[in-house]
A and B are shown apart, each in its own frame.
Chain A
Amino acid sequence: MVKKIQQDDNHMLLVKNGMLNKEFPSDYRQIRYFTLMIAQKAPPGIKEVNLLEQQISELIKNAVKHGNKSDPNKRIKVWYSFSSLNARIIIEDEGKGFKRIDDWNSFNSHRQKCLLDEDFEKLAEYVAYRTSESDDNDGGNALFAATEYWDEGVVFNRKGNTVAVGKRFPKKRPGIEIA
C-alpha cells in the first residue's frame, strides 16, 4: 500500500485534548532550537530519539518556511504529547495552507512505483518534489520520509495550514537481568 498524506478535518490525530503546547516566531535560524525544546520532553529511553528530533524539525521547518514564508510577524503553534508508546505532534502555521496534497500524493505514487520496479533511472525524476516555490535549500524529500516515519499518519486539515502526525514506538520486551 502506498502511504499517502491525508486531508481530513475530523481525523483523530488533529484532536488536541490533553496535549502540551508551545508557540514560536517564524525564525528560520532557530528551527533546530525550537525542535529541541519539544523533543526534550520525549521520555528517556524511547527508540531512536535522534530520528524523532529530525522528523519534528522537518515539520517545524515546513511550517516556518513554506507556511509562514519566514515572516517574523507570523507564529507557529505546536501541540505535542509523548509516551513510551507513542509520539504525537500537531503544527499550525498562519500561511495559506499546503494546496498541492493531491499533486504530492500522485508524485509519491510514481516514486513508489519506481522504487518497486527498481527503476533507478526513472526514479531520478522522482527523488525530489519541487514546485515553483522551491529554492536551492529545499531537499524536496522531507514528506516522503515523514509518511514512512509517522506510522499513525500524516494528516492535514482542509485548509492545509495544520499538520498532525503520530508515531508508535515498539513495546520493550521485558529484559532478563544477568547477575
Chain B
Amino acid sequence: MELKIRKNNEIYVIDVSGELDLYNSHKLKELVMKMVNKKIHKFVINLQNVEYIDSSGIGALIYIYSTAKKLDIEFLISNIHGSVKKVIELTKLMNYFPIVNKVGDAVKRLAG
C-alpha cells in the first residue's frame, strides 16, 4: 500500500493505492493522526486506486471518522468502487460514512 498527500489550499488529499488490509491499515490511521496533530482540519481520503479492503481497513476508516467527528475536523471519503464498495456495503456503512463520488466533489464541498 502507498499513501501520498496532495495539498489544495487548506485541503489535504490522501491518495491511497494498493491494498487496505490487515497488514497495512494501521499506516493510514497513523498518517491521519500525524496530520491531526499538525492541526490539519480538512482532508479527503481518496480510494480510487484501492482494489482490496478488509475489516481492518474498514476499521481504520471508522476510527478516522470518529476521530474527525470528535475534533470537528471536516473529512470525506471519495472514489469508492468495485470490490471495496461491495465490502463496505456488506457492513451497511455506505450511508454512515461521509462519502462523495469524486475527489473534485470532495474538494469543492470542503472549500465551500
Contacts and interface: CB of A to CB of B under 8 A. Distances in A.
B52 A50 contact: yes
Name the residue in A124, A139, A145 with the highest tally of chain B Cβ atoms < 10 Å from its Cβ.
Answer: A139
Contacts of B21: 32, 57
Contacts of B26: 136-137
B69 interface: yes
Interface residues of B, number: 29
B60 interface: yes
B83 A54 contact: yes
A118 B95 contact: yes
Interface in B11-55: 21-23, 25-26, 29, 51-55
A148 interface: yes
A144 B58 CA distance: 12
Contacts, number: 83
Interface stretch (B1-9, B84-92, B100-108): B84-92
A51 B88 CA distance: 11
Contacts of A124: 66, 69, 96
Given A54-B54, A137-B26, A139-B56, A128 B90 contact: no
B111 interface: no
6 contacts: A50-B51, A57-B21, A58-B55, A136-B26, A141-B62, A144-B91
Interface of B: 21-23, 25-26, 29, 51-60, 62, 66, 69, 82-83, 86-87, 90-93, 95-96
Closest 5 CB pairs of A and B: A139-B59, A142-B55, A139-B55, A145-B90, A50-B83
